Amino acid sequence: MDTMGTTTACELCDREVALTFHHLIPRTLHSKKWFKKNFSHEELNLGLMLCRDCHDAIHRFIPEKDLGKTYNTKEKLLAVPKVSDFCKWISTRGGRHKTDLPKGRRGRR
């Protein structure tokens, strides 16, 4: 379900660039007991189509467990000031902007 290369508008910044699928509840958490108990299979697989810049920014600013438990909707993600500020900034830029990810996320795509 990791659709890459689809071109349409990013659901956070509205730029028309290649998109990736962002699981609102990270896949690394799907097998954890708490997440299995509190979310259906369908809920675990909900997500957003995002540009790589917004996708990387989310993972840079919010730890995975927090993404799954607290920031698991588009509205909740945009309520995080760092995320919404980044999305506003990137929406005025063209091309790709390198985003430094936390150590554990480097190289995972």
pLDDT for residue 11 = 96
Sign, Cα dihedral of 46, 21, 66, 94: negative
Quick one: which of 22, 19, 14 has its CA closest to 64? 22
Residue 100 pLDDT level (bands cut at 50, 70, 90): low
Q: How many residues in total does the chain contain? A: 109
Q: Which tokens belong to 13?
A: 């910044």
- Give the model's confidence band at 1: pLDDT under 50 very low, under 70 low, under 90 confident, else very high: very low
The whole-number average pLDDT for the span 37-48 is: 94
pLDDT of residue 108: 47
Number of CB atoms found within 10 A of residue 78's CB: 15
pTM, entire model:
0.78
Beta bridge mates, 23:
47
Question: In which element (H, E) is residue 13 found?
Answer: none
CA distances to 29, 30, 58 from 37, rounded to whole Å, are: 12, 10, 25
The pLDDT of residue 63 is above 80: yes
